[in-house]
Structure 1
Amino acid sequence: MTLPLPFPVLDANASAQGGFGALPEWDLTDLYAAPDAPELARDMAWLEQACADFAADYEGKLAALDAAGMLDCVLRYEKIDVVAGRLMSYAGLRYYQNTIDAERAKFLGDCQEKITVFTTPLVFFSLEFNRLDDAHLDALLAANADLARYKPVFDRMRALRPYQLSDELERFLHDQSAVGSAAWNKLFDETLAGMTFEVAGEDEPLPLEATLNLLTDTDRVKREAGARALAEAFGKNLKLFSRVHNTLAKEKEIEDRWRKMPSPQMARHLANHVEPEVVEALRNAVVAAYPKLSHRYYRLKAKWMGLEKLEIWDRNAPLPTETPKTVDWDEARATVLDAYAAFDPRMAEIARPFFDKGWIDAGVKPGKAPGAFAHPTVVDVHPYVLLNYLGKPRDVMTLAHELGHGVHQVLAADQGELLSSTPLTLAETASVFGEMLTFRKLLDGARTKAERKTLLAGKVEDMINTVVRQIAFYDFECKLHAARTEGELTPDDINALWMSVQAQSLGDAFEFMDGYETFWAYVPHFVHSPFYVYAYAFGDGLVNALYAVYAEGEPGFQEKYFEMLKAGGSKHHKELLAPFGLDASDPTFWDKGLSMIAGFIDELEAMED
């Protein structure tokens, strides 16, 4: 019942602030004015009472409710979800603005603990609901259209029926969650946010984002210095990161074993409302495409850079022909809003308040969470976007990506709290589509062959990072969790698993420096949300297929697209894609998206002639 906190996304190339114009900061007062605001205390007190009253009114009685009574029960549960989500959103977002601030960390921890205690009496609801007879539930849904709206929520709950534990064990797991994985997540976040990196040639130690940003510098010496500083610092903290991963993987293995989950990935597939065979088909299609995608592209890049082999600090390096460019905030805003408006003016109108009303926190600050994310908060407020903006062209694409999430979350909010939440696989659709719109607009405006080449290469690298890299990450997690069932993993064990997927996915164009084997340590998704990463590849493949339909002039595409986003989590991926003539369960579906990437590489190769 407690709301998952937002967390940073991978490969958002952002770092230290400066010279980009006035960067916006969050105004969290739409949630609460301050930690000691009377409204926050009021909502916390209301939540405690509402949870107790809900349990008193409904525990042991769900089977006796008629359709109207069940609807009232669901609406009360949804209201509790909204208030708990509002409280946790405020505490979480405030914490991510400065994760090394002890007061913010304490406030978040206190809120988590209170809300976990308050909502423990609600654990019965899903367990008891899942014991309802199918015929009885079908009759209730048939009798009340308002209740029937919630069928997708009920279907997702009942998909967990085979894996439910006893009521007492479920309460125990809920109760101890604040000192289980949530506590290890905080340790990871605070450790990473507090780390500094001694980079050769820099006057003072740099934080993580500034150091990662060096990997995209035009100066190869600076890129190497950044990579070696990362490796040195990760190496010094490797025992701690190894302990975090060992503990979380073992905790997951124990819970999965008790629940009789067939695989470590199954809980994620259920949460994503996606069939395991669909994910397996995606994974297999991407791995089979490594040679014609990443292997081929990086050999081409090595040639452009005049190198026999690329090092890891060359992976996201600018091309030698690329003119260094700093994009100020106003230009970034105009670029993305113009691209959105060219697709449909409504899309730009939905995105505009993010800039004007304090819904974006863009600058890099000490202790701020790295990367980027869009957090939906709750349906009666609005989303908030976090960036670490550095004025690089890739930062503009990150802005387009996160605003896509924001637009999606705004449109889905009308579904209500329980139906608005979109499975991760579909949640990436609008964000990647927003990126594609922005990229295509820039590509159409390219004035020279060199400019077009730079844009194409940048897009290919982003797509490789989104598809190839994330599937490699997924394989790494699969190997890690499988290996952990055999016993404790040493840092060297984890390093070896990491390198096995890196060499396979990146190909023979690379040499890997000593120390790169530790780079698994800073990836937050492995800690916060196991097996999340395949959602990026899913979203990219889906959007590539979707964009092809748009480019072919599908009648009424914009209207269909908006209806898809408005659906939130109320429809299965088959229903959402059917109006576009697409089906992700078709094994050949993923080849369409991968062919788009291959086509871009074909064009880049042709430019060599």
Structure 2
Amino acid sequence: MKHPLSLTWELDSIFAGGSSSSEFNHFLNGLEKDLGNLRQEVKNAAVPSDAESTRSLDGIIELLQSCSGRLILAAEFAVCLGAQNQQDKGAVRLSGKIAGLSAQLQGIRSEFDNVLRQAGNEVWEQWMARPEIAPLSFVLSESRDLAREKMSPELEGLALELAVDGYHGWSEHYETIVSSIEIPFEDKMLSVGQAFNKLDDPDPKVREVMFRKWEEAWGGAADFCADTLNHLAGFRLKLYKGRGWEEVLKDPLSINRMSKETLNVMWNVINKSKPALVSYLERKAKLLGMESLHWVDVDAPVGKSTGKIPYDQAAADIVTQFRKFSPKMAEFAEHAFDSHWIEAEDRPGKRPGGFCVSFPERKESRIFMTYSGTPSSVSTLAHELGHAYHSYLLDDQPVFNQNYAMNVAETASTFAEVIVADAQVKAAENAEEKLALLEAKIQNSVAFFMNIHARFLFETRFYEKRKEGLVNAEELSALMEEAQKEAFCGVLSGYHPHFWASKLHFYATEVPFYNFPYTVGYMFSTGLYRLALQEGSTFADKYDDLLRDTGVMTLEDLVAKHLGADLTQADFWQGAADLILADIAEFLKMTENFAS
């Protein structure tokens, strides 16, 4: 890698000029024109009556994929602009225009799906067997089946158009709320992203002060956030009712291409594993000199900090650990660093959190985060590189087949984290370093088994309550704290009532229930890592093959094909949990004398 590494990304290779880019404006105008042509072609399309007549739809499918790929490029570019500078009004304007184009495309796709659902079964089977179409058969069949469960194309199209200023508009309103929040700390005003990084500071006094200010800030915005959350949920519930969907989880499970049976089996395994995590949290409290942990102490490092990890060192360590698993993955990570794909600078005005976006049209990705030099920041960096590697493996696939679900997306990212974390533990030079690294690994288990579970419980109960009417801020905080107490088995001394307001994921419109897929991905990746330990260097190719199939299979079929396992049974999930339980057992053994 080239040193020193840049802490800021480069976007001009995508479109030069930022939100004022004439190149980007020309691109959007071309996309808008093609969408108009595509709409007319779909309106004129006839339902195929025989195998030969299906060929008349080939051009529509090709143009659909082209428009879809370009819309992804446009949308993700606008996301990057808004994330790097929340005061960029031009980015907000572009996002609004792109949302309108997205609604157009979804409406067109809905009309085309109506053509698909009217095709007879015999004609359909012949069509899907054609060599030109066969690679897309899974996605097209999925669209056809789902279209049969939705409203008429006219109503679906109207809902999509109304969603621009309604559903998606409320999500954008939340971004406006977040961008206006500033939190005072040590004579400075911090953005939400900067303040969030202080919540896992090694100094307990810093954490305590920042958490109090954090709660106060979100409490001040709670009524605005409650309005936003209620209207987002209300839109979804009305849409589901129009489609005749009674189960709130039907949509997120369908999007994640998995069954409720699989989800329930996974949660059951996790719940049986929680007593070990409770023992870990109780031991951690003793090591930190506390009677019990508060919410803000859960991610606190055990022992004294050894100082900040320089960004260049973090990058080098990640590449080194990737190479031990897969030279191909390591070479890709080096390319990402050298090509300035990563925005990591700690500065005011950035949005909080981290993400990875892919640009299929350009075969590139971009990673966004605020690097703080903590082990958590290193994990985030590895996590987002895992996402980028996943997209890279699908670069040569048709656009339709690159649309993989969130749960397998989080599998690739979390697997990258596990590679780095486990290698670091094994390479530790002394017991103190090993304990710190092992503890960081277990913190991830707490996040996915307890924190994410709390989000899932909260959102499930909130939607049931929202069916009866609006839920005010006080009720939302009560629901949140109740879910946290249950998910953490009551082991903490204090919780985060306004978490529902501060967490962006509750306000995302791309994926409903933006929570359980994280835990599925974590458990899936841990199960994969268990197999990697057993099979050795040959597993890297198997892993790549599995990721390449993530856009064309259900989760259950994916695992059955590549791993020969049944996700509706507990065995695979328990195997993953056993690795985590082994880490906890080792931690407890290493700290026996310290805690006495």
Q: Fold conserved (TM > 0.5)?
A: yes
Residue type of the alignment partner of 1:596: L
Per-residue CA shift, 1:167-225, capped at 9, x if unaligned?
211111121221012111111112112211134xx112222222222222222111110
Deviation at 1:67, TM superposition (A): 3.9
Q: What does residue 518 of structure 1 align with?
A: 498
Query: What's the TM-score once normalised by structure 1's chain length?
Result: 0.91
Residue type of the alignment partner of 1:247: H
Q: Find the aligned partners of 2:274 and 2:382 in 1 and give their Cα distance.
A: 27
Alignment of 1:152-231 (within 5 A): 152-199=138-185, 202-231=186-215
Deviation at 1:298, TM superposition (A): 0.8
Would the aligned equivalents of 1:467 and 1:536 in 2 still touch at CA under 8 Å? Answer: no
**276-285 vs 329-338, which moves further:** 276-285
Would the aligned equivalents of 1:467 and 1:540 in 2 still touch at CA under 8 Å? Answer: no
Would the aligned equivalents of 1:62 and 1:70 in 2 still touch at CA under 8 Å? Answer: no
Helix, strand or coil: the match of 2:307?
coil
Would the aligned equivalents of 2:31 and 2:67 in 1 still touch at CA under 8 Å? Answer: yes
Change (3 A) 1:570 1:379: farther
Q: Find the aligned partners of 2:334 and 2:54 in 1 and give their Cα distance.
A: 41
Deviation at 1:505, TM superposition (A): 1.8
Q: What does residue 8 of structure 1 align with?
A: none
Would the aligned equivalents of 2:202 and 2:300 in 1 still touch at CA under 8 Å? Answer: yes
Q: Find the aligned partners of 2:577 and 2:479 in 1 and give their Cα distance.
A: 26
Q: What does residue 257 of structure 2 align with?
A: 273
Of 433, 437, 445, 1:455 maps to: 437
Q: What does residue 111 of structure 1 align with?
A: 98
Deviation at 1:265, TM superposition (A): 1.4
Q: Find the aligned partners of 2:54 and 2:12 in 1 and give their Cα distance.
A: 38
Deviation at 1:23, TM superposition (A): 4.0
Alignment of 1:342-357 (within 5 A): 342-357=324-339
Deviation at 1:116, TM superposition (A): 3.4
Would the aligned equivalents of 2:251 and 2:512 in 1 still touch at CA under 8 Å? Answer: no
Say whether 1:61 aligns with 2:46: yes
Q: Find the aligned partners of 2:94 and 2:63 in 1 and give their Cα distance.
A: 27
Deviation at 1:555, TM superposition (A): 7.1
Q: What does residue 64 of structure 2 align with?
A: 77
Alignment of 1:431-446 (within 5 A): 431-446=413-428
Per-residue CA shift, 1:485-519, capped at 9, x if unaligned?
11111111111111111111223431116xx3112
Quick one: higher RCO (CA 8 Å, sep 6+), 1 or 2? 1
Q: What does residue 220 of structure 2 align with?
A: 236
Q: What does residue 233 of structure 2 align with?
A: 249
Deviation at 1:583, TM superposition (A): 2.9
Q: Find the aligned partners of 1:583 and 1:484 in 2 and give their Cα distance.
A: 35
Residue type of the alignment partner of 2:77: Y
Q: What does residue 387 of structure 2 align with?
A: 405
Q: Find the aligned partners of 1:494 and 1:118 in 2 and give their Cα distance.
A: 35
Q: Find the aligned partners of 1:161 and 1:108 in 2 and give their Cα distance.
A: 27
Q: Find the aligned partners of 2:195 and 2:60 in 1 and give their Cα distance.
A: 51
Q: Find the aligned partners of 1:42 and 1:101 in 2 and give their Cα distance.
A: 20
Residue type of the alignment partner of 1:298: L
Of 115, 136, 156, 1:128 maps to: 115
Would the aligned equivalents of 1:292 and 1:598 in 2 still touch at CA under 8 Å? Answer: yes
Per-residue CA shift, 1:235-254, capped at 9, x if unaligned?
11110011111111111111
Would the aligned equivalents of 2:355 and 2:369 in 1 still touch at CA under 8 Å? Answer: yes
Helix, strand or coil: the match of 1:383?
strand
Of 1, 20, 24, 1:40 maps to: 24
Would the aligned equivalents of 1:91 and 1:108 in 2 still touch at CA under 8 Å? Answer: yes
Would the aligned equivalents of 2:193 and 2:351 in 1 still touch at CA under 8 Å? Answer: no
Q: What does residue 95 of structure 1 align with?
A: 82
Say whether 1:576 aligns with 2:561: no
Say whether 1:301 aligns with 2:284: yes
Residue type of the alignment partner of 1:97: Q
**582-591 vs 340-349, which moves further:** 582-591
Would the aligned equivalents of 1:63 and 1:132 in 2 still touch at CA under 8 Å? Answer: yes
Say whether 1:341 aligns with 2:323: yes
Residue type of the alignment partner of 1:126: D
Deviation at 1:120, TM superposition (A): 4.1
Alignment of 1:458-537 (within 5 A): 458-512=440-494, 516-528=496-508, 529-537=511-519
Deviation at 1:145, TM superposition (A): 1.4
Would the aligned equivalents of 2:357 and 2:367 in 1 still touch at CA under 8 Å? Answer: yes
Q: Find the aligned partners of 1:39 and 1:211 in 2 and give their Cα distance.
A: 36
Change (3 A) 1:555 1:517: closer
Q: Find the aligned partners of 1:108 and 1:57 in 2 and give their Cα distance.
A: 27
Tell me the number of residue pairs that the alignment of Structure 1 and Structure 2 aligns.
583
Q: Find the aligned partners of 1:365 and 1:413 in 2 and give their Cα distance.
A: 32
Helix, strand or coil: the match of 2:12?
helix
Identity level (%):
24
Residue type of the alignment partner of 1:599: A
Per-residue CA shift, 1:95-150, capped at 9, x if unaligned?
121122222212222332355357644531122212222222111122x1120110
Q: Find the aligned partners of 2:567 and 2:223 in 1 and give their Cα distance.
A: 41
Would the aligned equivalents of 1:475 and 1:501 in 2 still touch at CA under 8 Å? Answer: yes
Q: Find the aligned partners of 2:142 and 2:499 in 1 and give their Cα distance.
A: 35
Deviation at 1:322, TM superposition (A): 3.5
Residue type of the alignment partner of 1:194: S
Of 135, 140, 149, 2:127 maps to: 140
Q: Find the aligned partners of 1:209 and 1:42 in 2 and give their Cα distance.
A: 33
Q: Find the aligned partners of 1:565 and 1:117 in 2 and give their Cα distance.
A: 30
Q: Find the aligned partners of 2:572 and 2:171 in 1 and give their Cα distance.
A: 36
Would the aligned equivalents of 1:474 and 1:533 in 2 still touch at CA under 8 Å? Answer: yes
Residue type of the alignment partner of 1:422: Y
Query: What's the TM-score once normalised by structure 2's chain length?
Result: 0.93
Helix, strand or coil: the match of 1:374?
strand
Would the aligned equivalents of 1:374 and 1:383 in 2 still touch at CA under 8 Å? Answer: yes
Would the aligned equivalents of 1:361 and 1:385 in 2 still touch at CA under 8 Å? Answer: yes
Q: What does residue 540 of structure 1 align with?
A: 522
Helix, strand or coil: the match of 1:369?
coil
Q: What does residue 137 of structure 2 align with?
A: 151
Q: Find the aligned partners of 2:20 and 2:334 in 1 and give their Cα distance.
A: 31
